Each structure stands twice: as C-alpha cells, then as structure tokens.
Amino acid sequence: MMTNKDCKDLEETVRKINPKGPNDLEEQIRILQFRNEKLHLHNQKIEQEIIELRADNKRLAEQVDDQIKQFRNKGVM
C-alpha cells in the first residue's frame, strides 16, 4: 500500500517525465491549430492544381475540336 508521501512522489515524478499530459487542453489546441494550418495549406495547393488541370483540359479540348474541324474541312473525315 502506498502512503500519501509515496503518491506525491509518484505524481511529481510523472510531471517531470511528461509535463504536458494528454489531457492538457492548451497542448491539444496547439496541435489542432498546427494540423489545421497544414491541412489548409495542402487544400489550397490541391485547389490550385485542380484549377490548372481544368484550364489545361479545356485548352486541349479546344485544340482537338479545331483539329477535327480542319480534318472535316479537308475532307479527311
């Protein structure tokens, strides 16, 4: 059986080893803010890539349409 002094010593030792426990709200908030910032930046990057891909696809589709029209005008198709 542990005495009151033993319990206090154990508690102090645990605090020294892990000063911020998993229930520390400030630490959880800091971690969540960091994750949110990184995810937000990643989403912006992906959004820019999608916009660029859509613009490229539109440009390529227009080129293909122009080529098909040229073939039809020449009587190839």
Please list, residue by residue across 38-76, b when 16 or more beta carbons sit within 10 angstroms of its beta carbon and e when fewer do.
Answer: eeeeeeeeeeeeeeeeeeeeeeeeeeeeeeeeeeeeeee
Considering the entire predicted model, what is its pTM? 0.54
Tens of pLDDT, residue by residue, the chain (77 residues): 667 777 777 777 766 776 666 667 887 888 889 999 999 999 999 999 999 999 999 999 999 888 888 888 887 65
pLDDT of residue 20: 61
Q: So what's the pLDDT on residue 59?
A: 94
What total number of domains does the chain contain?
A: 1
In a domain, 14, yes or no: no
Q: What is the pLDDT of residue 46?
A: 95
Residue 72: inside a domain: yes
CB 61 within 8 A of CB 55: no
Per the domain annotation, does 12 fall within a domain? Answer: no
What pLDDT, on the 0 to 100 scale, is given for residue 26? 82
Q: For residue 17, is it within any domain?
A: no
How many angstroms separate the CA atoms of 50 and 56, rounded? 10
**What is the span of the domain harbouring residue 56?**
30-77
